[in-house]
């Protein structure tokens, strides 16, 4: 694993299921400790919209 073992979640929303669309490193390697517990979303999967603002 690059930063540790990732954990993936699926989301049910608007009557649809988005498989493995969210991931996190619960126990990353020591060099990546700052990302522990952060949730990441695939922005290139259908159903995900990114808003900066």
What are the domain boundaries of the chain? Answer: 7-41
pLDDT score for 7: 94
More confident: 36 or 46? 36
What is the C-alpha to C-alpha distance for residues 43 and 26, in angstroms, rounded to an integer? 21
Q: Classify 45 in phi/psi space as left (phi over 0), alpha (psi -120 to 50) or beta.
A: beta
pLDDT at position 46 over 90: no
The model's pTM is 0.69
If we measure between CA atoms, which residue out of 14, 12, 13, 34 comes closest to residue 24? 34
Contacts with 14 (C-beta within 8 Å, 6 or more apart), sequence order = none
């Amino acid at each position: 694993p690059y930063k540790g073992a990732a954990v993936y979640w699926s989301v049910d929303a608007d009557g649809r299921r988005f498989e493995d669309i969210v991931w996190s490193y619960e126990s990353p390697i020591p060099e990546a400790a700052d990302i522990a517990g952060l949730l990441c979303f695939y922005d290139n999967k259908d159903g995900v919209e990114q808003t900066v603002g």
